[in-house]
Structure 1
Amino acid sequence: MLVSRFWSSVVRRVWLPGLCAWLVLAAAAGAEAWPPGHHPLPETGDVIGEIQVVRVRGDETLIDVARRHNVGYEEIRMANPDVSIWAPEPGTEVVIPGRYILPDAPREGIVVNLSEMRLYYYSSEEVVETYPISVGRDGFATPVGLTRTTIKVKDPSWNPPRSVREEAAARGEPPPEVVPPGPDNPLGRHAILLGLPSYLIHGTNRPDGVGMRVSRGCIRMFPEDIESLFERVPAGTPVNIIDQPFKAGRTEDGRIFVQSFPQLEENVGSFEPLNNAVEILRRVSGGEDLSPVAYARLRALVDEPDGLAVPLERPVARLLSVPE
């Protein structure tokens, strides 16, 4: 735990502040424009996107900043633990965790990583898209497995399941048997049905909850994201729902990056997180042993996951040399 706190302190107080300055300069230099969520698929390697630093505008909440940059609630909260969610000061620097390690799964169709609360869509051989999502809360876990998209429905009606009606009745607010399309419909304006009965990928009338475990098992997206997918995802597209709280991969120049997320509550105790991470790293590195520095960083990330995709091995001296 002391090692974990040491690395967390170094990254938060030294590396990220220096990174902020470097990223602002990099952004000013300009990068190739891509639509939100779209990234060129690397010919070799597993890492896409970049971490950015932006500033809060006017009366924006941290949730507003997140949505503007294709990030969900938990992602933005973990990356900015010292920034107020609902009332950040205008001009506050915000870390956007926009670098991702592609999940360890076939790169085809849609891949949903539950612990990450993120969807990946391999829309062509050259492009991968990624979007924040909400997944099933504890007691209503989104199932892991392979399925396919089936029917697409514009302006769907919602039939509240019995559990919803029972909960509402207990509050003295029984809902109607059917909720018609409109602003009160929790499915939003677009729904993609899956081969798993009763499970959908859909929009929402409460976008502030995207990026949290709040659904009854369905996959929720920002309205603009599901609208984009709705128009382009054909029926029969494979959907691979996985749960990978720890990811590792290589950049195109061979560096190893790692990314760690909190385990889902229902999976805590089902495996030992550090051992799992070590095994994943051994596969990615080709069986190489971890150096003491790499092991310390790995342990810190597993103990205190923050969702940031970062280099595995970065000596303290190099961290301290990042320009302020």
Structure 2
Amino acid sequence: MSLLRWVLRLGLLWLSLAATPVFAAAYDMPPPGSDIVGQVQHIKTQASDTFVALARKYDVGYRELRLANPDVDPWLPGDGTPVVIPSAYVLPNVAHEGIVINIPEMRIYYFPPEDSEYHGKVFTYPIGIGRQGWSTPLAETKITQKIPHPTWTPPASIKKEHAEKGDPLPDVVAAGPNNPLGQYALRLGLPAYLIHGTNKPQGIGMRVSHGCIRLFPEDISALFSMASVGTAVNIVSEPYKVGWQGKQLTMEAHPPDANGDAPVKSYTPWVQSLIAATQDNPGAPVGWERAETVVQHSDGMPHTIGTDPSREIPSDDTADNTHDGGPD
């Protein structure tokens, strides 16, 4: 790579770090019988755009953008390049309460309780997760402590890692702009694990942490203000999410996280997910070849894999948030 290209990349990275989000991540819960929130967006880039900047602006993860736009240069997409913003989501197939973290999706969902002013909404944010060797565990736990302006006491293993790289850490990192935990942290019942902010927002949507869950600074600020001590936290692995959008059966596929994926059972995992999602409707119109294509592409967006014209749906369920492009 030429020196000029590296200079351009560094300059665009600095611009992207100053980016601020302009799109909210709050959605009305879908009506009974529907499972999708949000809507895929289609934009054209400006010359100064990078995927790091676009991720922050649209509140999506870096990898989400890469999966949805595999043929676009993430650092120099160019002026006027069409880009898909993957901002439609099949809700995870678990209880919609408290905080749900889907590791392969690199995304967190918050379902406020009935006594909250936000009840009936779902909030969803991209996350950074544990890198190889520091996998974020799958577990059911809860928030045990809310910590504003946290200090950070690096464990011995992380201090050793930094020392070996010639970057020694102090015994305690004071609260402030240089603190890796950011401005807010939610301690979990899992020993040594937190949901927290970051002083390196460019890593959101990547496997960058030592196992903790990182959010953009503005996202952890919002979540911190809503979630309370005792809030349930369910960390799951659902690389293949299946749900209904009106009369359409949809599927959303993500590359499985090899270190955090659920154990493989008797079926190929995506087949098992599809069977489980349609077990209450044995006549569901599953297009198996279409579903396999969606899995092969794994672009992280909902795609229609079948239509049931006879399916009864609420009269106000008219929105269609599925992505019409993508794999065929």
TM-score range, shorter chain: 0.7 to 0.9
Cross-structure match for 2:28: 40
Q: CA deviation at 1:87?
A: 1.4
Select which of 213, 217, 231 maps to 1:219: 213
Encode CA deviations 1:229-257: one digit per residue, 9 max, x unaligned: 11121111111111111010011x23111
Encode CA deviations 1:239-294: one digit per residue, 9 max, x unaligned: 1111111010011x231110001111225794279732223323333223766xx2
Cross-structure match for 2:147: 153
- Contact 2:244-2:250 within 8 A present in 1 as well: yes
Unpaired runs of 5+ in structure 1?
Answer: 1-33
Q: Residue 312 of structure 1: SS of its match in structure 2?
A: strand
* Separation in structure 1 between the aligned mates of residue 78 and residue 283 of structure 2, nearest angstrom: 45
* Separation in structure 2 between the aligned mates of residue 237 and residue 269 of structure 1, nearest angstrom: 24
Q: CA deviation at 1:136?
A: 1.1
- Contact 2:35-2:243 within 8 A present in 1 as well: yes
Q: Residue 149 of structure 1: SS of its match in structure 2?
A: strand
Pick closer, same or farther for the CA change 1:57–1:35 going to 2, 3 Å.
Answer: closer
Cross-structure match for 1:85: 74
Cross-structure match for 2:253: 260
* Separation in structure 1 between the aligned mates of residue 273 and residue 167 of structure 2, nearest angstrom: 48
- Contact 2:127-2:204 within 8 A present in 1 as well: yes
Cross-structure match for 1:288: 283
Pick closer, same or farther for the CA change 1:271–1:128 going to 2, 3 Å.
Answer: same
Q: Which has the higher contact order (CA 8 A, sep 6+)?
A: 1
Counting matched residue pairs gives 282
Tell me, yes or no, if structure 1 residue 65 matches structure 2 residue 54.
yes
- Contact 1:282-1:288 within 8 A present in 2 as well: no
Q: Which moved more, 1:195-204 or 1:170-179?
A: 170-179
Cross-structure match for 2:9: none
Once the two structures are superposed, the pairs formed by residues 163-178 of structure 1 within 5 Å of their partners are 163-178=157-172
Tell me, yes or no, if structure 1 residue 52 matches structure 2 residue 41.
yes
Pick closer, same or farther for the CA change 1:234–1:270 going to 2, 3 Å.
Answer: closer
Cross-structure match for 1:137: 131
TM-score, normalised with respect to structure 2: 0.80
Q: CA deviation at 1:99?
A: 0.7
TM-score, normalised with respect to structure 1: 0.81
- Contact 1:274-1:302 within 8 A present in 2 as well: no
Question: Which is helix-richer, 1 or 2?
Answer: 1
